[in-house]
Chains A and B, each alone.
Chain A
């Protein structure tokens, strides 16, 4: 997924859309918006980022899970199987992005890239709802996909690549 920090206005529609689509319990969220302010007044610069699980290619959460509940699914999406998760929270401590939380029902939950929607040919809820169309979702292995195209054209960064997790969320800058 690629997210355009220049287009994002920080409206948090993606957060609400996700909470509705995925029945995220009140007080928790699978995605959130960060506002980073740089500089001293009046030279200020703001970056807005809609963040979520980075679906890392070398994810510590999958590595440290003792039961195999956290796993890579089709296309590299990192998922948690509810009925295998014992709620030990090892994955929460292992994630440098703090992308996971303990669901009140006991298992650990996080962004799934709305795999249930993607399988039906739809976009993830956050992408579909964004009023500025700042998110691009698709297959990074397919050079013709919209994400691949936009990543070819634009400059981008990933978050703390030095943590070594090979994050797969690309922020256009």
Chain B
């Protein structure tokens, strides 16, 4: 038997798995970032494919929640910082090796793009909107002319943002549960799923809802595939990673992960969306809320469980 105790007393927050350094702020920020990435990605994609009139909600309306989500996410991130007065330091350095630095700079691009895209379509929401000042009109005109370029920037930067929400975790080798490159694609998929759910919710157009329900079904399939691969990878790996994944296979996070994330957040909405596609009448809010819930829970559970997983020595 092996027993390890700290005899001198230590109150570093990580020594107790219950005490985490990252609380609700980081998973919230990652969820909102992923959601924003999802809606922006589809908006850019369908604009570039020339479907803006078929999929009006996706291209013109849904992206308007992106700046709001990003602003709230940034507030959450800011609340997480303990040395808030030095926030600006993030923007005096570019550190390619640091995922936090990547995130800060990606947001620096994504946020203005999301604001400009929303401004370009504000008339869809408020038909009588008037850009009172001439320079504002000129600016809008300029972006209107270069909308294709803007859409490309949005497509790429939102994909980076979506992947980044997972990379922030996977870059930490000290927390074995996070240390898998599947996190990037998994979180991107989760963000896209949340984004398409929002489009389904907002859209009044049957064809558009159908399209996004199909898309969401496909994405959920990909997520399940990635999760299975994550487990296979972990179980075939070293003892620390086997221990880490056991948090979900009998450990304290088993019920919440399988129940909330996989069953309620993926399988149930997938079944409901499938039934709806088959013609059954299902209140659209149910699968949408479940998908969003699953996406939030995924981030919270991975964040908390990851901080409970550690190297043994």
Question: Which residues does A use to contact B, with CB under 8 Å?
Answer: 10, 12, 15, 27-29, 31-40, 48, 60, 63-69, 83-90, 92-96, 98-102, 105-108, 159-160, 162-164
Contacts and interface: CB of A to CB of B under 8 A. Distances in A.
A32 B10 contact: yes
A160 B87 CA distance: 33
Contacts of A48: 7
Given A34-B4, A86-B87, A64 B171 contact: yes
Contacts of A101: 11-13
Nearest to A84: B89
Interface in B40-95: 80-87, 89-90, 92-93, 95
A94 B101 CA distance: 14
A84 B86 contact: yes
B83 A92 contact: no
A122 B295 CA distance: 54
Given A32-B8, A64-B99, A98-B12, A87 B84 contact: yes
B2 A36 contact: yes
A88 B92 CA distance: 15
Contacts of B95: 65-68
Interface in B192-234: none
B307 interface: yes
Interface of B: 1-15, 21-22, 80-87, 89-90, 92-93, 95, 97-101, 103-104, 171-175, 238, 307, 310-313
A29 B9 contact: yes
B10 A29 contact: yes
Nearest to B174: A96
A89 B86 contact: no
A96 B212 CA distance: 42
Given A10-B8, A160-B312, 9 more contacts: A12-B7, A33-B6, A33-B8, A35-B6, A67-B89, A88-B82, A93-B14, A94-B171, A160-B311
18 contacts: A32-B10, A34-B5, A35-B5, A36-B4, A37-B3, A37-B5, A63-B97, A64-B172, A65-B100, A66-B100, A87-B82, A88-B80, A92-B13, A93-B22, A95-B174, A96-B311, A101-B12, A162-B238
B2 A93 contact: no
B134 to A, nearest CB: 40
B3 A36 contact: yes
B178 to A, nearest CB: 8
B78 to A, nearest CB: 10
Closest 8 CB pairs of A and B: A87-B82, A87-B83, A106-B83, A66-B100, A66-B101, A96-B174, A33-B8, A32-B10
Nearest to A99: B12
A102 B82 contact: yes
Contacts of A33: 6-8
A112 to B, nearest CB: 16
Contact of B97 (A64, A89, A108): A64
Nearest to A10: B7
Contacts of B99: 64, 90
B7 A85 contact: no
A66 B93 contact: yes
Contacts of A89: 21-22, 80, 82
Contacts of B86: 67, 83-87
A157 B226 CA distance: 38
Contacts of A69: 89
Which of B15, B87, B311 has the most C-beta atoms of chain A within 10 angstroms of its own C-beta?
B311
Given A29-B12, A66-B101, A98-B12, A86 B21 contact: no
A146 B93 CA distance: 39
Contacts of B103: 66
B98 to A, nearest CB: 4
A66 to B, nearest CB: 4
Contact of A102 (B13, B89, B101): B13
A25 B82 CA distance: 16
